[in-house]
Amino acid sequence: MSVPVVESNEKKFAEDVVRNKMPVIVNFYSDDCPPCEALAPLFERLAEKYGKHMKFVRILRQQNRTLAERLGVKSSPTVMFYRNGEEVCQRLTGYITNPELRRSIEDVLGDSCPKTERQRYDCDALVLGAGPAGLTAAIYLARAKINTVVIDQGLPGGQVATTFHISNYPGTNGTVRGADLMRNMTDQAMSFGAAIDSLREVREIDLTGEMKHVKTEDADYYARCVIIATGAEPRKLPAEGEREFRGRGVHYCAACDGALYQDRRLVVVGGGNSAVEEAVFLTRYALHVTVVHQLDHFQASGVAQDELRKNPVIDVIWESEVRKIQGDHSVNSVLLENLKTKKTTTLSAEGIFVYIGLEPRSEPFKGIVDLNELGYVVTNEDLSTNIPGVFAAGDIRDKQIRQVATAVGDGAIAGMMAEKYLAEIKSRH
């Protein structure tokens, strides 16, 4: 019988958390928050695994604002850890991954952490990553009656599952929620027979030879071909104080945390579509928005730039970067450096929203497959890598455009080419 997640509040906080004899993990969440929605099933799955050793508690922040303010909770979601009534370990905020959440839990539990028995899985095609590229590849492979397994370090959907609205995906009625789109893709892949193993962290990889071996924390996967579709994640702001103020003024999702800043002054860092579009979005709440960009021009689309320029509460500081984030319990200003003059200035701000690109999730593949200088996987036109039987698709791949539609296109190509590769090696035996 699984251990349930406890729904708590300000009145029950002392009983559920502070006076509890077990270690406690607390998830402060909000409604209409894509990262909160993505974290919820992960939180429940981890409660099933660790619930006999740690109490799992959820608190709706909008209904417990006084408690959240007293604890300095300024972002959704915020995960905190308690032992013997005292907060321990570093808080986790924003887009929280399974590996960082699991590591924090096991750090708190120490020697009492439960051990699991290793399992073995054999398949024809192994897809690493359950975002739009990986799920599309799985749809094509499974529909072709190929034994296909998809593994992901989190839950199916990738970044798209945490995107509030997608308005440019073909065939949808204007806009579609990212979570709904990815749920449909997941259901479709499974309906054709693909197996999806979530919450699996890749530890070791051996792609040499005809049988590929991927080792996770508690399982071994053997496959004749592998598709790498692990995607990318938002690049963190390389400024002093970013980690300390993450969730307490530093954010990476305007849809999640913008409503916290009613009538406040905000900074948006970046110059692409995301930065420009989110700066306009934040004016629904903010008194004033300043966009800080390292170049003297935007890289965003003309339509997005026109929307920004027409907005009277947005201004832009060009050719500058954030060097330091300053404040006490929360952010109150940023230190900017002009890249031409090298002069520094202090800009008052109570929140910073960062959109400075993506970083590929390619760490497990370094020294195994060819990567470019930025860490993206290099492929041929057929999406094959330098290793026979290994393909790459989606945001992890070295390419110019990264959209849901292009990820799906990559997945289709990778799935079909993997099917062709499997047919060829079968004909040789």
Secondary structure in 3-state letters for 348-407: ECCEEEECCCEEECCHHHCCCCCECCCCCECCCCCCECCCCCEEECHHHECCCCCCHHHH
Give a yes or no: residue 417 inside a domain: yes
Place of tokens 């398949």: 123
Give a yes or no: residue 1 inside a domain: no
Are 182 and 69 in contact by the 8 Å Cβ rule? The answer is: no
- Which of 57, 78, 112 is where one domain is finished? 112
- Which of 313, 338, 354 is where one domain is finished? 354
Spot the catalytic one: 256, 315, 328, 410. 256
The tally of domains found in the chain comes to 3
Task: Find, among 131, 238, 258, 127, the residue nearest to 182 by Cα.
Answer: 131
Are 330 and 350 in contact by the 8 Å Cβ rule? The answer is: yes
Active site annotation includes 36: no
Give a yes or no: residue 191 inside a domain: yes
Are 382 and 413 in contact by the 8 Å Cβ rule? The answer is: yes
Tell me the CA distances in angstroms from 350 to 188, 202, 323, 328, 365, one per residue in order.
44, 38, 16, 11, 39
Active site annotation includes 123: no
Number of C-beta neighbours around residue 234 at 10 A: 17
Active site annotation includes 206: no
Residues 350 and 366 in one domain: no
Residues 391 and 348 in one domain: no
Residues 80 and 11 in one domain: yes
Kindly state the tokens that stand for 94: 């924003």
Kindly state the tokens that stand for 255: 């849809």
Task: Find, among 271, 237, 232, the residue nearest to 397 by Cα.
Answer: 232
Task: Find, among 396, 235, 378, 238, the residue nearest to 322 by Cα.
Answer: 238
Residues 87 and 166 in one domain: no
Residues 71 and 35 in one domain: yes
**How far, in whole angstroms, is CA 207 from its chain's centroid?**
26
Q: 96: which residues sit within 8 A by CB, 6+ positions away?
A: 35, 39, 42, 77, 79
* Phi/psi of residue 412, nearest 5 degrees: -65, -45
Cα separation, 294 vs 310, in Å, equals: 22
pLDDT tens track of the chain, all 429 residues? 456 899 999 999 999 999 999 999 999 998 877 778 878 888 998 998 899 899 999 999 989 999 998 998 877 889 999 999 999 988 888 778 888 898 899 899 987 776 777 899 999 999 999 999 999 999 999 999 999 999 998 878 877 776 666 777 888 877 788 888 999 999 999 999 999 998 888 999 999 889 999 999 889 999 999 999 999 888 899 999 898 787 778 888 787 678 779 999 999 999 998 899 999 999 999 999 999 999 999 999 999 999 999 999 999 999 999 999 998 878 999 999 999 999 999 999 999 999 998 889 999 999 999 999 999 999 999 999 999 999 999 999 999 888 889 999 999 999 999 999 999 998 887
Element (H, E) at 90: strand 86-93
- Which of 329, 354, 379 is where one domain is finished? 354
Secondary structure in 3-state letters for 230-279: CCEEECCCCCECHHHHECCCEECCHHHHHHHHCCCEEEEECCCHHHHHHH
Q: What CATH number is associated with residue 103? A: 3.40.30.10
**Predicted local distance difference test score (pLDDT) of residue 82:** 95
Give a yes or no: residue 88 inside a domain: yes
Q: What CATH number is associated with residue 411? A: 3.50.50.60
Spot the catalytic one: 257, 263, 370, 398. 257
Cα separation, 174 vs 159, in Å, equals: 20
Is the whole-model pTM more than 0.85? Answer: no
Cα separation, 157 vs 35, in Å, equals: 12
Place of tokens 């592998």: 226
Cα separation, 184 vs 157, in Å, equals: 10
Are 134 and 157 in contact by the 8 Å Cβ rule? The answer is: no
Determine the structural domain holding residue 267 and report its residue range.
Answer: 242-354
Q: What is the residue-wise DSSP string for 105-149?
A: HHHHHGGGPPP---EEEEEEEEEE--SHHHHHHHHHHHHTT--EE
Give a yes or no: residue 265 inside a domain: yes
**Predicted local distance difference test score (pLDDT) of residue 1:** 41
Give a yes or no: residue 107 inside a domain: yes
Kindly state the tokens that stand for 71: 């604890």
Residues 129 and 141 in one domain: yes
**Predicted local distance difference test score (pLDDT) of residue 145:** 96
Cα separation, 138 vs 131, in Å, equals: 11
Residues 106 and 249 in one domain: no
- What is the DSSP secondary structure assignment for residue 2, as one 8-state letter? P
Spot the catalytic one: 253, 263, 328, 382. 253
Residues 216 and 363 in one domain: yes
Residues 333 and 368 in one domain: no
Q: What is the largest CA-CA distance in the chain?
A: 69
Are 30 and 36 in contact by the 8 Å Cβ rule? The answer is: yes
Residues 328 and 298 in one domain: yes
Residues 123 and 229 in one domain: yes
Task: Find, among 295, 299, 298, the residue nearest to 339 by Cα.
Answer: 295
3-state helix, strand, coil in the chain (%, to 5): 35, 30, 40
Partners of 196 in the β-ladder: 150
Cα separation, 7 vs 44, in Å, equals: 12
Residues 107 and 126 in one domain: no
